[in-house]
Amino acid sequence: MLVAAAVCPHPPLLVPQVAGAAAPELDALRAACAAAVGSLLDARPDVLAVAGGADVTASFPADAAGTLRPWGPDVRVGPGDAVLPLSLTIGRWLLEGTRVPPVLRFEAVGFDAPPDECAAAGRAIAGSAPRVALLVMGDGSARRTEKAPGYVHPDAVPYDEMLAGALASGDSGRLLALDPAPARELWAAGRAAFQVLGGAARQAPPPAAELLYDDAPYGVGYFVARWAW
């Protein structure tokens, strides 16, 4: 049963060693992520699952590692082979130095996975133990400004406002209703991961939800939220 969930973004620049001199620009985002992850651990889960988007859907063991070498310095997290995609590597980095629960699992969901597949993955995670916490790694649109990776799109800000509203209110139904087509057009990398959260939370009562961060410092929508039951 899902007892806590958190949403964080996964830019490589979240890691200070990658950001370099620009690291202070994301201090507020790092603080919000730390608070969200802390709420997961405070829930004393039996299982902590980290879910994030990737090129293909895959499951990884608790010791799976990731590296940020493609984005700069060879920052490595985890003791095993460096097989985690970027989203799960950043998720693992957020957990470094924390007291993780007895079972830790990493679930990658394909960026283009259909909504029903994402929802089913979420339901499976939620049903995997009596007390489950879920850390969801996902970004909003990467087309919010002229300097964004995908350049500016007029629908990017309204789309991210919709996502922020769903995360702030704990609206799992709105997450499950996300259409993959506009997500692709708007370069919203978190769509599939957000729908994993929607599936995990769908059978639970409405959560106590809080949006801790909502901004686009590099033209990409970043959200940090926490849900609790």
What's residue 129's pLDDT? 97
Specify the pairing of strand 132-137 against strand 2-8. Answer: parallel
Q: What rounded mean pLDDT belongs to the chain?
A: 96
Percent of the chain topping pLDDT 90:
94
Going by C-beta distance under 8 Å and a sequence separation of 6 or more, which residues neighbour residue 105? 47, 48, 49, 50, 59, 60, 61, 62, 125, 128
Under DSSP, is residue 209 helix (H, G, I), strand (E, B) or coil? strand
Percent of the chain topping pLDDT 70:
100
pLDDT tens across 70-125, in order? Answer: 999 999 999 999 999 999 999 999 999 888 887 999 999 999 999 999 999 999 99
CA distance 31 to 201: 25
How much is the average pLDDT of 31-54?
97
CA distance 40 to 101: 10
What are the chain's domains? 2-228 (3.40.830.10)
Specify the pairing of strand 47-54 against strand 132-137. Answer: parallel
How much is the average pLDDT of 36-61?
97
What's residue 22's pLDDT? 80
How much is the average pLDDT of 133-161?
97
**Tokens for 15?**
């890691």
Is residue 21's pLDDT more than 90? Answer: no
Is residue 224's pLDDT more than 90? Answer: yes
Could you tell me the pTM of the whole model?
A: 0.97
Contact 178, 194 (CB under 8 A): yes
